[in-house]
Structure formats: C-alpha cells, structure tokens
Chain A
Amino acid sequence: MIATKHLIRAAGRRLAARSFILGAALFLSACGGAEPAITYSEGVVRASGWNGPAPADGWESVLIVRVSADEAAPAMLGEYAESGGVITFTPRFAPSPGVELHATFHANQSTLETTFGEPAKAIAATTRVANLYPSTDEWPENTLKMYLTFSAPMAAGEAYTHIKVLDDQGRVIVQPFVEFEQELWDASGTRLTVLFDPGRIKRGLVDNEGSGPPLVAGRTVTIEIDPTWRDASGASLAEKFVRVVRVTPAVRDVVHVKRWKLDAPRASDADLVVTFDRPMDHALAQRAISVTKDGARIAGQTRVTDAETVWRFTPEAPWAPGGYFIAVDGVIEDLAGNRPGKMFDVDTSDPAQSTEATAVTAIPFEGPNR
C-alpha cells in the first residue's frame, strides 16, 4: 500500500492542511480552477490544479520530484508534460523499493509537498554458489582461472572483496587475482570468470619473483565465498561457500590432442566421447570442440563431465555412416592456460617451444555402420 504524507506551505511558510484548503477554496472559487493536488500512481506523478501559462523555466521549476526531503538534493530525471492544468512527471526510472518520492508543487500562490513511498521489503536470501570450476580438488600451482557459477544473477562490481583464498594456516593470501573494474561476467550474470594474477603465474615477471604464485604446490588452499555478496536483487547469498583444494605441481606442457582417447559412437544414437589426458578449462572445453561432416557443423548437445576430463557429444540427428571430424579450436586451454602446441608462458630461449598454438586440430572418426 502506498503511504502518503502531506505537508503544505504557502509562500514558503508552513501552514496546517486545513487552513491551506480553506485558502485554496477561496482562491479557486475566484478562478474557477481545480484544487491543487499531487498524486502518484502507475509510475507517474500528477500535479493537478495548475492555473496559468507554462512557466518560463519549464515545468521542472514548478513541480520538483526528489528522492530526499533535502532541497539540496538534485531533482529526479524524468519527462514532464502538461494538459488541462495537470502536470505529469514520469521518472526516468521507477524508484527503487524503499526510496521515497518527495514532490513539491509550486501551485499558483501556494506550495504543496507530498511524500510517496513504500517501505523497503526484506528480500529473502536464496541465491547460492552453484559450482566452482575447476571442479577437481587438485589444482596445479599455475592454475590460470576459475569460474564461479550462481543459482541466480548476481550484482556486478563487488566480486573481489567477497572471494577469499586462505593458505593452509588460514591466512588470507593477498591479492591472488587480477582485478578488473569490469568483472568478467557472462550475459546472464550467473557466471563469473576470475583470473589468478597472471603477473604472479608468468615466469620472469616482477610479481612472480617477488610475491610468488598465489597457489603453492604441496599445500592446500581454501576458497571462501563470503555470503554478504549481493545478488542482482540486492539480497545476500543464502550461505557461505567453501572449497578446499590441494595444490599440485605446475603444468608446463602444451595440450597434446593426440593423447586424448576417442570413443566413436557404435550406434546411431550413441554419444561421441573424448577423454582428455588432463582436466581442461570448463568453458573452453564446452565451446572449442565441435563436430563436422562434409564441412558442415553437426548440431548437438555438449557436456563436459568428470572434473573436466571428459567431453561428451549427443547429436540432434542420428549418426550416419562415413567420415566425421572432431575440430579442436586452438583457443582450448588446460587449467594453466596451455593450448595445443603452445604453453601459457613460452620460453623463447628454447627453440623447441612454439609461440603459436595449433589453430585447429582435426580428429577424424567414422560414424557407425547401420
């Protein structure tokens, strides 16, 4: 229910509502206009009883709507219109829950002030961390990124103060991530990409030599998500999220596609399954592997399972006999950012190391014989 509070002033002097109404009635009877009033419904403030020409300084000079009673506060942005003595103000944005509208109407010779608003409702905390990738409990020391997924859209702009990495003594590891003002969310606001500070992972950089990597092989770290992180509705998370991870030695080797194990479909409705030789980046394994036949992409469902070591493809249409390809795009990365043919940080003094990833690796396989 919308609560309203009325406060009426004439020529800057506060009057009781009753005396104003009396004065207004006398005035109106002489002019034949309507009694000044302010209403707010369906997102529009209406000030009725305007009696005169359009003011030289615009309608915003006679009807001022603020989110605060403080006259120093700026007026809300919005559109004004007038018709038949009724001035309407449509705020650019409907006020947020709990935000009051303070409307001041300099009507003819008196000033009318009205407050509209609804008290803020407590919002139930229901959003949770759905997943943390890598989903394996063993992360290499040079793990490049992690993905946090949530059960509902989250607020942007406050991620890094709510993700803590603790060492095996429970001490906070200082600035383990590279922090971007933009934050790396997906379009739905439910998946956040967090990069471990590449300056501390890349060899030869100041931060790597000064601070060391944020993850140290042989130890455990605890990733903690603080439940005060707000979701897109402004509610806190329903609960704290904690994962303990064992840190394993750094992976400094290119992705070897030829070491992957391929299980070609033996029936026309069977899945095509690839087992990797190590856990891969969850998002890229999902996106960078496709299936083609005669140059055309085959539609189907991709799933990455078993702690990101298995890629499984279910085609929309049954497999046909004959040749297919699995195409592995060179953007695919393991947990440490290594790609096919190229390590994350290439030692250019070693001529055996390539500075270019293999653009596309194609793996041929045969469809099932019917």
Chain B
Amino acid sequence: MKLRILAATAIAGAIAAIGLSAAAAPGGETKLQSAGALAFAPNGVLLIGDSAAGQVVALETGDTAKAGAGKVEIADLSGKIAALLGTTADQIALNDVVVNPASGSVYISVARGLGPQAAPVILKADRAGKLTEVKVETLKRSSVALSDAPAPDAKNARGQAIRQEAITDLGYVNGQVLVAGLSNEEFSSSMRTIAYPFSSGAKGASIEMYHGAHGQYETAAPVRTFMTYDVGGKPNVLAAYTCTPLVKIPVEQFKAGAKIKATTIAELGNRNRPLDMIAYKKDGRDFILMANSARGVMKLDAAKLETYQHIATPIADKAGVPYETIADLQGVTQLDKVDDMSAVIVVAAADKSTSLKTIALP
C-alpha cells in the first residue's frame, strides 16, 4: 500500500496535543520517591530533584540561622551515613551535596538501598559534622510535576511508566526554578523554568537547548550541570553540556517554547565529565571552580565572560576561558560554595571511601 501522509495541521483534532504540565501539588500529599539533585532557593528552601516521581519538591527547611563558622569535616562519610541508616557503605549512594547559603549547613541527598525501591533520605550536617535526618514529611513543602510525554507513556507490568526523565541539575534565579533533565528515551535537551512558589496549574517554560558545533553542525545538547551567574550585569546560566563545552545563556532568553543555541565560551578538553561548578570572588577577581571526572578541580578566570565570543572553529583540545588545574584536589565528586573563602567538597578515595572536607578556595 502506498503511503499518503499529511501534516498535522491539516488534520486538526486527529492528534492529541503535546504539552508540558507543571501542576503544583499541596505539600501534605507530596512524597519523595527519590532524592537526587539538590539546590537552595532563598530562605532555606531546599529544592529536591525526584526523578523517580518526575517532580521537583521545594522543602521549607526553616534552617535560616547561621550555623556557626566551624569547618565541616566528616571522615568516612559513606560509612557514617550507612551506619546511621542501618546498613553498609556499599548499599547507599550519595547523590548530591549542597550548602544552605542561609545557614552554612550541608545537605546531602542519599539513596538507601540499591535498586528502584531504594529509600530517599535527606541528611543535614552541622558545622561540627553531626549528621541528622531532615524529615521531609514533617516540613512544609510543595512540588511541581514534570511531564511532557507526547503520549500516554508505555507502562510495565506493574503499571509504572517506562519513560523517565533524569533530573541532571537544579538551580534557582530570581523567582525561577531551573531544571535540567535528560530523557531515558529520546535524545532531548529539556531545560525548564518554573516560577517559585509553585502555583496550582502553573505551567513551566520548556526550552530546547542546542549546541552549534563550530558553526556548522547543530544538535540537541542536554545539560549535565549548570549554575546561574551574572555576566556583564545580567543573570546567565553557565552550563556544561554532555559533550563537555561550557556555554552561557542569558536567563532572559528562557521563554516557553524557545529554542536556544548557547554561546560556547570554553572547550574543556577531551573525556572530561564536569560534575559541579561554583563561582566566587577572591582578591577582587571573579573565578569559577569546576569539579570534573578527568583531572583535578579546574579554576577558571571568570573576568569579563561577556567578552568571550562563541568558539566556532574546530580546536585541538581546549580553548576559550583560561583555566588552571588545582592538581592537589583529586577525586572531587561534589563541590559547593560555603562563602567567598571556602567550599565544601566530597572526595572519593581509590578504595571508594569518601570524605567531606571544607577547603579554602584557591
């Protein structure tokens, strides 16, 4: 049979609409199914990426008083967390570590257990390194569902959706929660902005991210990690794509349905998996510190990022924003800023043991 095909517009009503739903749920019903990426909004509001439930949860921790000035140091972090949770270090995963800028306390998202039934746990470390549980179900919270499946999702025998979106990173800027996600099916590039506080029936803007490789080849470009940063006085997202370049995108371009080709401001070399980024000021100069899988932590000179032009020519290894490698910081898997003087890092040793340390910013 010869195929006859029609454009969708010619058959209005034949096809179900495709859209993003971002409906806020009242806090009392919000349950965490998983706890992955974390970020703080102002006033001690902890944003939790819950990929398993396809939601972002905003938790009012009430933790807004300065927690003191001590340096948080926790040796054998995984072992200690496992001990708190009645298990062994090989049965837990440390998913993210962030510092609450309102208090200076450290928050850690953990999976207790190995498989899809692993329990999500949020822990808080005070400046003395004492770990306590943040009891999500006792705190005021709200959530927003992330769903933009084009059709009702295929379900497995237990009625669970097979398609899932992994929330790769979260951020907050000027009343907006930013969510970078990656589908476990289509190679897409969703970056969503959702107004916070979440309002019932609110719709987030979904933005398609593209990478223009050297001005010629253009592809979808999922974001692995990002942070918000002022560039030339305007809020920008500095993001690392899955394929390593560091890009900048003015937040004002984040509008529903926008298709954004970001400006590549640095190529960071082959086989380099960026993990976390922070920005800080030292001796009056701006820097960005980036933890990555391939080499020691990288320190980028963030002066005048607005002056960097898009890198549009093939280059041998690295280009753009200059950086140095802080060689004595090896094995850093988590990084977050405490203040302009110090940061909290998690270091993984060769034997897989981990430790949480406070370091002076280089």
Residues on A lying within 8 angstroms of B by beta carbon are 66-68, 73-77, 91-96, 98-99, 101, 144-145, 153-157, 174-175, 178-191, 193, 195, 197-199, 202-207, 209-211, 230-234, 257-264, 281, 283-284, 286-288, 290, 292, 294-295, 297, 302, 325, 327, 329, 331, 333, 337, 344-349, 355, 358-365
A358, B113: Cα distance in complex, Å: 42
For the complex, give the distance between the alpha carbons of A352 and B93 in Å: 48
Give chain B interface residues in 186-234, CB to chain A under 8 Å: 186-188, 210-219, 224
Residue of A nearest to B8 (CB): A360
Contacts of A261 in B (CB 8 A): 1, 3
Cα–Cα distance between A143 and B129 once the two chains are bound (Å): 46
Whether B21 sits at the interface, judged by CB under 8 Å, is no
CA of A361 to CA of B224 in the docked complex: distance in angstroms? 31
**Assembly CA distance A281 to B186 (angstroms):** 9
Beta-carbon contact of B3 and A363 below 8 Å:
yes
* B86, A99: Cβ atoms closer than 8 Å: yes
Contacts of A262 in B (CB 8 A): 1, 3
Judge whether A232 and B113 touch: CB under 8 Å: yes
Given contacts A92-B133, A186-B160, A230-B114, contact A361 B213 (CB under 8 A): no
B87 touches A95 (CB 8 A): yes
Contacts of A365 in B (CB 8 A): 1
The answer to whether B187 touches A154 (Cβ under 8 A) is no
Docked complex Cα distance between A355 and B219 (Å):
9
Tell me, in angstroms, the Cα distance from A190 to B1 when the chains sit together: 38
Interface 9-mer from B149-157, B282-290, B297-305: B149-157
Instruction: Judge if B104 is at the interface, Cβ distance under 8 Å.
Output: no
Q: Is the CB of A345 within 8 A of B3?
A: no
Please provide the chain B residues from 1 to 37 with a CB less than 8 Å away from any CB of chain A in the complex.
Answer: 1, 3-8, 10-11, 13-16, 18, 36
With A92-B85, A186-B156 as contacts: A211 and B4 at CB distance below 8 Å? no
Determine the distance from Cα of A93 to Cα of B82 in the docked complex, in whole angstroms. Answer: 11
Are the C-beta atoms of B85 and A232 separated by less than 8 Å?
Answer: no
Per-residue interface assignment for chain B, residues 69 to 92, with 1 indicating a CB less than 8 Å from any chain A CB and 0 otherwise: 000000000001011111110010
Task: Tell me whether B219 and A364 are in contact (CB under 8 A).
Answer: no
Q: Does B162 contact A (CB under 8 A)?
A: yes
Chain A residues contacting B43 (CB-CB under 8 Å) are none
Q: Does B112 contact A (CB under 8 A)?
A: yes
Which residue of B3, B7, B168, B293 has the most chain A CB atoms within 10 A of its CB atom?
A: B3
Give Cα distance in the complex from A101 to B86, angstroms.
8
Complex interface: chain A residues within 8 A of B161 (CB): 186-187
For A325, give its contact among B14, B214, B269, B293 (CB under 8 Å): B14
Cα separation A77 to B134 with both chains bound (whole Å): 11
B residues contacting the other copy or chain, number (CB 8 A):
88
- Give the distance in Å from the alpha carbon of A287 to the alpha carbon of B11 in the complex: 21
Chain A binding surface, main DSSP class = loop
Contact B219 A360 (CB under 8 A): no
* In contact, A206 and B314 (Cβ under 8 angstroms): yes
**Chain A neighbourhood of B316, CB < 8 A:** 206, 210
Stretch at the interface among B116-124, B170-178, B321-329, B336-344: B116-124
Q: Judge whether B356 is part of the interface by a CB distance below 8 angstroms.
A: no
Number of inter-chain CB pairs below 8 Å? 281
Which residue of the partner chain, among B11, B131, B243, contacts A178 with CB atoms under 8 Å? B243
A188–B83 touching, CB < 8 Å: no
Given A202-B243, A232-B114, A345-B217, A180–B168 Cβ distance below 8 Å? yes
How far in angstroms is the closest Cβ of chain A from B138? 12
Report the Cα distance A232→B293, complex, angstroms. Answer: 26
Assess whether B111 is interfacial by the CB under 8 Å rule: yes
B105 contacts A by Cβ under 8 Å = no
Docked-complex contact B151 and A74, CB < 8 angstroms = no
Write the nearest CB–CB distance from A57 to chain B, whole angstroms: 14
Name the one of A205, A207, A234, A327 contacting B91, with C-beta atoms under 8 angstroms. A234
> Given the interface contacts A155-B115, A181-B95, A193-B185, does A361 sit within 8 Å of B8 by beta carbon?
yes
How many angstroms between the C-alpha atoms of A284 and B150 in the bound complex?
Answer: 11
Residues of B within 8 A of A209 (CB): 314
Cα of A155 to Cα of B113 in the assembled complex, Å: 8
Whether A234 pairs with B114 at a CB distance below 8 angstroms is: yes
A189 proximity list for chain B (CB < 8 A)? 115-117
> Which residue of the partner chain, among A75, A191, A359, A364, contacts B8 with CB atoms under 8 Å?
A359
B167 interfacial contact with A, CB 8 Å:
yes
Inside 8 A of A75's CB, which chain B residues have their CB?
84
A182 and B35 CA atoms in complex are apart in Å by 11
Query: Out of B82, B183, B218, which one reaches A355, CB within 8 Å?
Result: B218
CB distance from B91 to the nearest CB of A (A): 6
Contact A74 B214 (CB under 8 A): no
User: Does A206 lie within 8 Å of B6, measured CB to CB?
Assistant: no
B64 at the interface (CB under 8 A from A): no
**Contact between B114 and A198 (Cβ–Cβ < 8 Å)?**
no
- How many angstroms from the CA of A345 to the CA of B218 in the assembled complex? 5
Provide the residues of chain B in CB contact with A286, threshold 8 Å. 154
Nearest B residue to A155 by beta-carbon distance? B114
In the bound complex, what is the Cα–Cα distance between A92 and B134 (angstroms)? 12
Q: CA–CA, A209 to B51, complex, Å?
A: 34
Known: A230-B114, A360-B15. A205 touches B213 (CB 8 A): yes
Q: Tell me whether B315 is interfacial, beta carbon within 8 Å.
A: yes
In the complex, are the beta carbons of A156 and B83 less than 8 A apart?
no
Contact A186 B184 (CB under 8 A): yes
The 8 closest A-B pairs by CB, nearest first: A232-B115, A199-B243, A189-B116, A155-B114, A187-B160, A204-B213, A360-B8, A184-B184
A199–B244 CB distance below 8 A: yes
What separation, in Å, do the CA atoms of A181 and B36 have in the docked complex?
10
Identify which of B119, B166, B167, B270 contacts A211 (C-beta below 8 A). Answer: B270
| B267: Cβ under 8 A from any A Cβ | yes
The interface residues of chain B lying within 8 Å CB-to-CB of A297 are 16, 151-152
